[in-house]
Chain A
Amino acid sequence: MSHLTAWPVFLPLITGFLLILLRGKGIYYQRIVSLSAVAGLVALAVALIVVSLPGQYQVYLLGNWTAPFGIVLVADRASALMVSITAVLALAALWYAVASNTDEKGPHFHVLYQLQLFGLNGAFLTGDLFNLFVFFEVLLLASYGLLLHGGGRLRTRAGLHYVVINLIGSTLFLFAVGTLYGLLGTLNIADMAARIATAPGDSLGLIAAAGLLLLVVFGVKAAMFPLYLWMPGAYANTSAPVAALFAIMTKVGIYAIIRVHGTIFGSEAGELAYYYMPWVLGLGLVTLTFAALGVMAARNLREQIAYLVLASVATLLIGVGLNGSSALSATLYYLIHSTLIAGAMFLLADVILKGRGAFEDRFESAPQLPNAVVTGSVFMFGAIAITGMPPLSGFFGKVLILNAALHHEWVAWVFTILLAASLLTIITMARTGSSIFYRTLPPPPSPAAGEPLNRNAFMAVIGLFLVSPVLVICAQPVTAFTASAAEQLLDSTAYIEAVLSAPAVNNPSIEE
């Protein structure tokens, strides 16, 4: 019996409580344990990808109870991909946190970090809707702690908003899950999908309502218009490694829409098949518009990057909403890109902020920061990547999505908004780069001066950014993978079949 599917979930959990027990041992041990665990997670993620390549679903029956009665973990190409992105991002962000000593700014950083990963990987792998709620709560509470790590005025306020909005979101989640259980009598996603096909017609209205309610919940997580208002503040005001890790948080919402809605309200859902799609697409387009304007209106670099993340989320929503294998493949490709690049950008913003001393990351003239050429070049690179300019991966992701839109009836809207938003972000990022790197003041007196470049920490930034050219150069295998993942995601029938037929290990205590 292979436990590979379970390990990405439980390794961070085990590391988490080991770190609690290691509390007295000092930061050095904590770092070693934490970093090794995340490195291990990367290895596990790679293994998971390799295992998922042939296209089999890895169904893991937790507690050895068959679906739909017990909780199952399901690894397929898409979930393996999400776990991998998380692991890579987490490694870089953790490296940065350690190298920049951010982890020392408050207690329990590493514990919160590991448990955050527990929640994330759980959310990506679970095949049970209520269990998804639980993992959401885990990752949220961990994220509350991480968000507030280090403290401070704006951070606390942003944290308060983040927590309250997410608590409302959690309440909505329970209303939605409750309704679905109350009408379908099950919690397993595959089983729900199977039951919805045979549900009595008069309950479809309520099921549809619950489905859209669930979309709102995931929309809050994904930062979909008009539910994203928690997001810019939260991302802009937390510490850099946390903001970087949070780049994956919005994608949890996207993934949940793909997985949960795509399965329950997928091709098998009869009258309700893909009924939610126009909302995803429409709201994605609106989100993108607001995000682009937000990028323009941002008051400092971190806020701007937060809005750029919002724009990338909106692009993903558009990709999801276009519905179809090429659109989904494009979405997954863009998801890899946007998550890792957004993470890198938050880290880079921190490098810039520290380098500018008292001027922080505000858009005003400041003395030239130390190592301006290196930082500036990397910034330019990042700006190109995140605004979707060639030759980096953002461009190709966007082209993939546009290409998928060609067959959609809303093609004009998609093209117009996607390209107009690109233009706004390009213009704005040029202004940003110009005001941070070009328009400099004479060197300041030493106390106001920024810190020199932390080369160790900077490695994390570079490492993440390097993903972008790799995604371009290896576009062929990567898109081949995302395409196969998309095919698998769209095949609800195979998913239902695989989950519901997964056999238990023969257990002597269960008498059949």
Chain B
Amino acid sequence: MKKLFPHPVLTLALWGIWLLLNNTMAPGHLVLGFILAFSISLLTSGFWEEKVYIRAPLMLLRFLRIVLWDILIANITVAKLILGRNRKLKPGFFYVELDIRTPLGISLLANTISLTPGTVSCDLTEDRTRLLVHALHIEDIPATVKQIKERYETPLKEVFTEC
């Protein structure tokens, strides 16, 4: 079974994507989508060295909600910053010390940071312990770091595990 479904999450996701792409729940596409999802995940299994499981699906949904909300708020905030006088902006680089260790986790964290307007993750140190972030306007670095770790890193750590 594990050989056939090396990455069940992926297979499911692909199936969902197929149905989304075709905008349908027609039985034909359900079947075809499943076959495709199954074959593609099997075909690309070599590219996924680590196994990924979603340990806490509900947590994931909550995380998504938080992120989307943050994005919305940050958009408005940042829009003001951009449209306002740019000389007032206080840009800065700062490091986020990482607790999360898995490549996927780190990447998703970096991703989240970048997606939230106002911050962009710029670099990962080679030992993968710190993430360099640039902020468009930052007053209090430690508070921001703390917020990032609490709002994003902690849930991510809990949602995704690898075995």
Q: Is chain B in direct contact with chain A in the complex (CB below 8 A)? A: no
**A residues with CB within 8 A of B:** none
**B residues with CB within 8 A of A:** none
